[in-house]
Structure 1
Amino acid sequence: MKVYGDTLSGNCYKVKLVLSLLGIEHEWQHVDILKGEAKTPTFLAINPNGKVPTVLLDDGRVLSESNAIIGYFADGTDLIPQDRFLKAKAYQWLFFEQYSHEPFIAVARFIQKYQGMPAERLDEYHSLQPGGHKALTIMEQALRESDYLVGETLTIADIALYGYTHVAHEGGFDLSQYPAIQAWCQRICEHDGYVEMI
């Protein structure tokens, strides 16, 4: 099985972290998105959408979109709750991550860390800060009530949101304002099989 991804990407890192936590063997194929390697004819033949992460399974089938990938690998494990309502809550957080978190925090991080704050994107960068802080505030409230986003055990909800949250400072978001999130990040780091982004 091959996993195509750039580990500096939070979306790709989510997949790397799930595979490591579950001890699933794989070959990591680095794709440098800044160099346009996801847009080459070779890669587009695997994923016509030209995005990472992308997984090429042993049987030749292809799976893309980070949250779909982590859901696939976590299926049947403790990372997905068995209870119907709790499972729905986990997926609720995955949708939250893609629509209310990632568009602000990940984009601000890209502008600051990868593009070096170009003048033509400064207004956009500053406009992303309120939305990012709103998402972090929602997470902070949830994590004051329980150790993890869905109760007291690690799930794919935590992994999906950890990907960009733990590096949110690289997009201008000061996590010292969010002590429950900081404690949650530390708990995730302590799990067997944890692997760092870089």
Structure 2
Amino acid sequence: MTTTFFLVRHAAHDDVGRFLAGRADGVALSEPGRAQARRLGTRMAREDFSTIYASPRQRAQQTAAAIAAANGGGPVRTADELDEVDFGHWSGKTFDILNGDPGWRRWNSLRSLARTPGGETMLNVQQRAFAFIETLAADPGDRRLVLVSHADVIKSVVSHVLGLPADAWPRFDVAPASVTTVVLGEWGAKVLTLNEIIP
């Protein structure tokens, strides 16, 4: 038997690309992001999934709620394992400020060894996210699941499945409101789709 995971990056908020949202409070979807989330709901309606799990961040919860609303209004289960990277003291800072920080530059060039200030490493992120996926895959009752998370978390899962190092993260994109499909079975795991962008 196999379990299919639809890894959904949350839709856009107002400051995508301007500051590092991380785990900062109050980062909600923008109006275009809410429209993206509604389109995601329509897209996911053809997948016949059983359950939606989402990061506790507001933007992920809003995205998951839109998917649920378009698919019968079932509950969204919050999963801390899908939470954004704990960026520690970097959360909420603009990229203009971060780009002057040697630690930030090291993080982006050598994530396999770097740690965020007061936060976690990408290997920590990968371990918690993939362990959660393995736990869900072991449950015979759930075969098709939606997991709403964040770009770096999804990238860490994809890298693990493909046998790529943590430092391979810049080699592929995971855009806001995109869907990446991963399948797990007794034979292992594989990526079926990557960064499917909903028009």
TM-score range, shorter chain: 0.3 to 0.5
With normalisation by structure 2, the TM-score equals 0.40
Between Structure 1 and Structure 2, the one with more strand by share is: 2
Greater percentage in helix: 1
